[in-house]
Amino acid sequence: MEKNEPLVNILFITFNRLCYTKISLPKLLSCSYKNYNVTIVDNGSTDGTVQYLKSLKDSKIENIIFNKKNEGLVKPTKKFWNTSNAKYVGKIDNDIVVPSNFINILIRAHNKINNLGVIGFCHFREEDINKKALKNKITSINNINIRVQPWIGGNYIMKREVALKYPYYRQSWKGFKKRILYGFNNYQQKLTDLNLINGYIADSKGDLFLWDHIDDPRNQNYLKDSNYNQRNMTDEEIIAWLKNDASELLIKY
């Protein structure tokens, strides 16, 4: 452990898609940052994920919680924030493969910029990013390059004290139907309104650091799972949506 390396606790939530977990979790457990651990929450998987998780023996795993039903994201996340003893907390989805140095990069940014909220890498593919246009959107703060955004998705690291100070993360509603898988964008918008900085971190050249997003039809490990996927879109429609989302969020917003 490097001197004065703060403790980081990462939440990893699973619900089926065992093939994704078998790819993403080993990468999360083998990061170059030394002082971190992972809390795993399974939301009632029925595809062998529970058995796989029970078979794991890794010193980076702090705890594995097995829920009998799918409790969504909000409840497990808030419980995690409240019970963690780490200075920094984060979450990585099981369809995200992390670079080994991502914690180092994000903690360095937090150390350089005091009023950061939620920061992370970008989940869009390099081919979907207009790098020339993006250059004008990158801001440098204390030698950290960042694409400031009101929200960045659900893969991040933030200060635990911020999560506890601003407990506004709640389940969102559409019409009269509870949407247990949504609400974090609304929470990040609240932090933005409170003058905290959210965003994607970029390298010294202004290029965004990227996650490897498995749940993209162009990814070699993509699983077309009709039982899990509620998007009701063809692969071509998903790709077009992702490309448009990259343009809207990174360039036009």
The predicted structure's pLDDT at residue 176? 41
Burial of 183 (0-12, 13-18, 19+ CB in 10 A): buried
Mean pLDDT of the chain: 92
Segment 63-122, tens digit of pLDDT:
999 999 999 999 999 999 999 999 999 999 999 999 999 999 999 999 999 999 999 999
Q: How far is 28 from 197, CA to CA, in rounded Å?
A: 25
Counted residue by residue, the chain has a size of 253
pLDDT at 1 over 80: no
Domain ranges for the chain:
8-252
pLDDT at 2 over 60: no
The predicted structure's pLDDT at residue 228? 56
CATH code for 8-252?
3.90.550.10
Pairing of strands 172-174, 197-202: unpaired
Cα-Cα-Cα-Cα dihedral sign, residues 97, 100, 104, 109? negative
* Mean pLDDT on 236-253: 93
The predicted structure's pLDDT at residue 181? 35
Segment 167-224, tens digit of pLDDT:
888 876 554 444 443 589 999 999 999 999 999 999 999 999 999 999 999 999 998 8
| Residue 110, H or E segment | helix 102-112
* Mean pLDDT on 34-51: 97
* Mean pLDDT on 33-48: 97
Answer whether 88's CB lies under 8 Å from 157's CB.
Answer: yes
The predicted structure's pLDDT at residue 245? 94
- Kindly report the pTM of this predicted structure: 0.93
pLDDT at 232 over 90: no
**Number of other CB atoms surrounding residue 155 within 10 Å:** 21
The predicted structure's pLDDT at residue 226? 58
**Cross-strand partners of 12:** 40, 92
Q: How far is 108 from 92, CA to CA, in rounded Å?
A: 18
Segment 165-181, tens digit of pLDDT:
998 888 765 544 444 43
* Mean pLDDT on 114-142: 97
pLDDT at 39 over 60: yes
The predicted structure's pLDDT at residue 161? 97
pLDDT at 229 over 80: no
Residue 93 sits at φ, ψ, to 5 deg, of: -80, 160
